[in-house]
A and B are shown apart, each in its own frame.
Chain A
Amino acid sequence: MYQIISIIAFLITLTGITLHYIAFPAGMEHLRDPVKKLVYFFTLLLIEQKLSFTGVLRKLVYLLTLLCFVVLAITGFYPTLVLDKHISGYLLMIHATFAPILAICLAILAVMWASHCRFTYSDWPWFQCLVQRVTLAKNAEEEPLIKSRRFGEKITFWLIIVLALPLILSIILSMFTLFGTYWQEFLLTIHRWTALVFAVVAIIHTYTLLRTKID
């Protein structure tokens, strides 16, 4: 069941992203050659010279997070979805090696990106309208509402931070002599399902981030 649902979830996510990309093409009209487009995508991974020290650090941590995520996703989902087995052997060792690095990176990113990903009025103008209607308040300067294009990026960022907690805690707590067999299985189930949602959200976040950069 987990295997089927996971495969469906990944297919829907990737299909959705593809459809979105087709429906709302990125601002790369000047790049018609697909190779050039690909090269352009890769240049986004490079560290820009204009970045400050914290900017460089932020990007490096992000790239490391991305790497850890890819490794963990492959080692975690490959045996479950492809081999229909529990993770074990070298894959488990690689998984357990990269997991704490991801945890540290997520913590650093949370600190560094949280302010950047705060929700503002422009992220949800409909909510501002609603509040104004309820409270009868007026904007001091009656500024026109400008819809932000980073809402998706922000919401997925906060979802990642929220999901990281049960994802990490479920597996770490199972390593303590606190929970018996029933709860061990329960924690493992939480880890599996949270990992699935986390992976889907992380993919969407990466896509929205790229779109923000490109657009």
Chain B
Amino acid sequence: MLVSGLFVAAAETEQKFLGDESDGSRATPIHLIPLYAENEDGEKGEKIQPDAEFPMPFSTRHTCIDCHNYDLVKKGWHFNAVDANVPPGRSGQPWIYFDSKLCIQIPLSYRNWPGTFRPEQIGLTEFKFTKIFGRHMPGGGPGEIEAEDIDDIGRQLVSGKLEINCLSCHNANDGQDMGSQIGYSVQVARENFRWAATAACEFASVTGSADQLPATYDPFMPDPGVKDAPTVTYRKEAFNENNEVLFEIVREVPNERCYYCHSDLYIDNEDAEKWSSDEDVHLKAGLTCVDCHRNGIDHNIIRGYAEEANISQNPIAAMSTCEGCHLPEGEDESRTGRHGAPIPTHPGIPTVHFDRLTCSACHSGPWPGDKTILTKTSRAHKLGTPNVNKAPDGLPHVISPIFAKQEGIIAEYLGRDLLLEDRKIAPHKLIWPAYWGILEGDRVEPIEISIVENVIGGVFADLELSATGDWPQISKEQIVEAIRVINTAIGTKAVYISGGKFYSLDDSGAIKEQENHPAAQPYLWPIAHNVRPAAQSLGVRYCTDCHATDAPFFFGDVTIDSPIVAERDSVKKMVEFLNVRPFYMKAFAFSFVFRPWMKIIALGSCAVLAMVLLLYALRALSCVAKVLAGNNQ
């Protein structure tokens, strides 16, 4: 019975509803629909009446579910991070928790990407995680997990769950408010999870903060006397006589919606501004993000890396990579050139490059300079939200571009990780993890943030914080003191990780530094965009774009980021991230100094050989002619 029950549940999950199966029309379906709230049992509640005394926020789940299978949608890539059965695939951008006063900057992910930590390892429950990072999530995932922590259970009763906000992507109305003072991000930060989607849409506004309310507050029995209680005000003109609302829903998500969570700012100079840098060449050619990053109703969106087709259920994953559109391969030649993609000829590029490099290595991200640059991303730096720190050196410190071999797990099969094969070189963003941990054998387990705060808060109490949000200036002596305090408080061997180094105390209590410890390795994730035009790709000028003795591709400086003052000016060479011997790469690059000479010598030798051959061929012809002419002398 249990098995049959599971089958029924699975079948219901896979079931497609009215709006989930297209009839083939490419016209935009009209979404003139009534809105429904969620009731106190989590079921479909009453229809929203804009002129009600205390209107509830509408629930996307219960409003959209008449036509769309919500349970199918929530399996999509944007919502399924918490599902352990989903293969993590190529390493991606982590969520970054940082606290300058505690000298912490740590990459987090629910996906099993090597180098990231699970949020619960630093004491973040799904509820807390959602409150911090939900600002740049389209809902779902951790936002819909039932709270288990005793504190969170009460808070979640007030805040509700952060449902998938369909409108965060599919609302084409300019009024979709993700980042204003009263928009989606602020509502999430106020724990107004239940109200967030409503507050973000163009025809409603929300005041109040759930996080200011006691856990005993009942949002389904609003009390006008309670200060700060979340309150919805609907714009009545948006509703027709049947209390239906016309949504500007589009199937193909506008680029601006993607940009809210997927913007980058490369700080290559003090005045780095978005207007001074170019967008992706594909967008300029008229494509949209979702022309390549496609999905069906299961929202299993294509990430776009070459190996994805091995694990993706998306049937067009293989043809939605760079190669899928640009390179004729196998029997699908007729599919190349999709969207007008030019077929590259790559003149003069030895084919070995295609075996060892991703397309993005030469075509994507910022052009590498002598030194890596600080980079801001929407999700790491809260771009597009109110009161964002606009200082270039504000934490977290994401560094790019770094050329390194791709990491990732394609699939987990029978408990064994199947690692990414043919790890090609790609441009990456990088973060140097900085955290306090406990040494367990060779493994370092991060200490929960709340414990760190309680234990070493006193040590760093007088620390002068940077006005720009940069690291404070701490010394190794302060690290020693902090480790000593943690050791005493927790009774275990505490360590500090930062800037690629592992700090611990030896038996005499002196600081011990260790480089290349596995726990201190940086976390890197590949850069796919912005794609530069072909004329701006690496190697377009000459081989020495990469193979010069000072070419940034191999010999650029990668900044080592650390709050410890003594480590601030440290750098590593790019070649150290490529698992190749620096001397070899230097010698190989040096050989390119002589490459023009080699060409001249070889061509000159060929000319001499050809002339000798021609000369003696003519003489032989002369002999034959003489013989045939009867002149045998």
Residues in B whose Cβ lies below 8 Å from that of A107: 604-606, 608-609, 612
How many A-B pairs have beta carbons closer than 8 Å: the answer is: 107
Of A99, A103, A111, A179, which one neighbours B606 at CB under 8 angstroms?
Answer: A103
Is B587 positioned at the interface, with any CB of A under 8 Å from its CB? Answer: yes
Contact A114 B612 (CB under 8 A): yes
Contact B584 A89 (CB under 8 A): yes
Is A181 positioned at the interface, with any CB of B under 8 Å from its CB? Answer: yes
The residue in chain B whose Cβ has the minimal distance to the Cβ of A169 is B606
Contact B598 A96 (CB under 8 A): yes
Contact A184 B602 (CB under 8 A): no
Residues in A whose Cβ lies below 8 Å from that of B598: 96, 99-100, 172
* Assembled-state Cα–Cα distance A9/B129 (Å): 67
Is B352 positioned at the interface, with any CB of A under 8 Å from its CB? Answer: yes
Is B415 positioned at the interface, with any CB of A under 8 Å from its CB? Answer: no
B402 CB → nearest A CB, Å:
23
Main secondary structure on chain B at its contact with chain A?
A: helix
Contact B605 A106 (CB under 8 A): yes
Is A86 positioned at the interface, with any CB of B under 8 Å from its CB? Answer: yes
With A111-B608, A165-B609 in contact, do A178 and B347 touch (Cβ < 8 Å)? yes
Contact A135 B601 (CB under 8 A): no
Contact A179 B351 (CB under 8 A): no
Of A103, A162, A171, A181, which one neighbours B345 at CB under 8 angstroms?
Answer: A181
* Assembled-state Cα–Cα distance A138/B631 (Å): 10
Contact B630 A137 (CB under 8 A): yes
A105 CB → nearest B CB, Å:
9
Contact B633 A93 (CB under 8 A): no
Interface centre among B348, B602, B613 (most CB of A within 10 A): B602
Main secondary structure on chain A at its contact with chain B?
A: helix
* Assembled-state Cα–Cα distance A16/B190 (Å): 87
With A135-B627, A168-B606, A188-B351 in contact, do A114 and B616 touch (Cβ < 8 Å)? yes
Is A49 positioned at the interface, with any CB of B under 8 Å from its CB? Answer: no
Is A110 positioned at the interface, with any CB of B under 8 Å from its CB? Answer: yes
Is A140 positioned at the interface, with any CB of B under 8 Å from its CB? Answer: yes
* Assembled-state Cα–Cα distance A86/B352 (Å): 9
The size bracket of the interface on A is 35 or more
Is A174 positioned at the interface, with any CB of B under 8 Å from its CB? Answer: yes
Of A89, A103, A131, which one neighbours B605 at CB under 8 angstroms?
Answer: A103
Residues in A whose Cβ lies below 8 Å from that of B587: 93
Contact A118 B632 (CB under 8 A): no
Residues in B whose Cβ lies below 8 Å from that of A169: 606
Residues in A whose Cβ lies below 8 Å from that of B633: 140
With A96-B598, A114-B612, A140-B632 in contact, do A185 and B351 touch (Cβ < 8 Å)? yes
The residue in chain B whose Cβ has the minimal distance to the Cβ of A110 is B612
Residues in B whose Cβ lies below 8 Å from that of A139: 632
Residues in A whose Cβ lies below 8 Å from that of B604: 107
Contact with B along A91-114 (1 / 0, CB 8 A): 011001101100110110011001
Is B220 positioned at the interface, with any CB of A under 8 Å from its CB? Answer: no
Residues in B whose Cβ lies below 8 Å from that of A165: 606, 609-610, 613
Known contacts A106-B605, A135-B627; can you find 6 more A-B pairs with CB under 8 A?
A86-B352, A88-B352, A96-B591, A96-B598, A100-B601, A172-B603
List, sorted by A's number, 19 A–B pairs whose CB atoms are closer than 8 Å: A89-B584, A93-B588, A99-B598, A100-B597, A100-B598, A107-B612, A110-B608, A114-B612, A118-B619, A135-B628, A139-B632, A161-B609, A165-B606, A171-B602, A172-B602, A174-B350, A176-B348, A179-B348, A184-B346
Going nearest first, the 6 A-B pairs with the smallest beta carbon separation are: A180-B345, A177-B348, A103-B605, A107-B608, A107-B605, A110-B612
Report B's interface with A, CB cutoff 8 A: 344-352, 354, 584, 587-588, 591, 595, 597-599, 601-606, 608-610, 612-613, 615-616, 619-620, 627-628, 630, 632-633
Report A's interface with B, CB cutoff 8 A: 86, 88-90, 92-93, 96-97, 99-100, 103-104, 106-107, 110-111, 114, 118-119, 131, 135, 137-140, 158, 161-162, 164-165, 168-169, 171-172, 174-181, 184-185, 188
